[in-house]
Amino acid sequence: MNSKLNLRDKKKEATAYALAVAAFELALEHGMDGFIVDDVVQKAGYSRRTFANYFSCKEEAVAAYFIGIIAVQEKENNPLAALPSDATPLDALYNLLKLQFTSEFLHKLRQFVSLANQYPSLEPYILNVFRHLQITAQETLEQFTRGRYADGYTHLLVGAVYGAFVPILDGRLNVMLPGEQQSGESGAMPFEQYLNSMFAYLRNGF
């Protein structure tokens, strides 16, 4: 959420986010087929007309929950602030990922991916969430590099890193999210270990 917005714009952002929270919570409780837009507005305390001012459908509202979190993270955190003078673009990207992918955000994002696997109508919207994450990362790296690297370099880094998160979230890679407990002999890799291994490959080659 942009701190430079006026009071009216901030109120509009808050309204959109409240509707998005209600939609996401209903999706988790009932599945996408178990609620309608009227349930969202009733839960959030707004009118259906207000909902229509912000979203075209309940799927868009569910995805907007994550877009809102990303916007808050952009406002409250500066991944470049604590970087040393000899930091690399990978260091900047690593700091950003640590700020973006909190334990809570990762668990909810995995729930969102699980919902999208059950309800194909959500699939285009989950792509939009990943696009927002990548755009934030791209803008951060461009701010950090300031033209010191060849065109396409930061795009390559962002694409490689964010692409590596998809199989974690959809379950194709056996990685434990922060806070999860190892069950039996699952052989799951802790998230922190996966993150560090991924960046080691990027720094040192495959």
pLDDT of residue 184: 64
Domain with CATH 1.10.357 in the chain: 77-204
Residue-wise DSSP of 44-97: HT--HHHHHHH-SSHHHHHHHHHHHHHHHHHHH--TTTT--TT--HHHHHHHHH
The CA distances from residue 7 to 12, 14, 41, 65, in Å, are 9, 10, 22, 21
Is the pLDDT at 1 greater than 50, yes or no? no
pLDDT of residue 9: 83
pLDDT of residue 169: 87
Query: Could you report the per-residue pLDDT of 3-25, keeping only the tens digit for each?
Result: 566 888 889 999 999 999 999 99
Please give the CATH architecture assigned to the domain spanning 1-62. Orthogonal Bundle (1.10)
Query: Could you report the per-residue pLDDT of 32-89, keeping only the tens digit for each?
Result: 999 999 999 999 999 999 999 999 999 999 999 999 998 888 888 888 888 988 999 9
Residues facing 189 on adjacent strands: 175
pTM across the whole model: 0.86
Domain with CATH 1.10.10.60 in the chain: 1-62
- Candidate CATH numbers 3.30.1480, 1.10.357, 3.40.50, 1.20.1530; the one for domain 77-204: 1.10.357
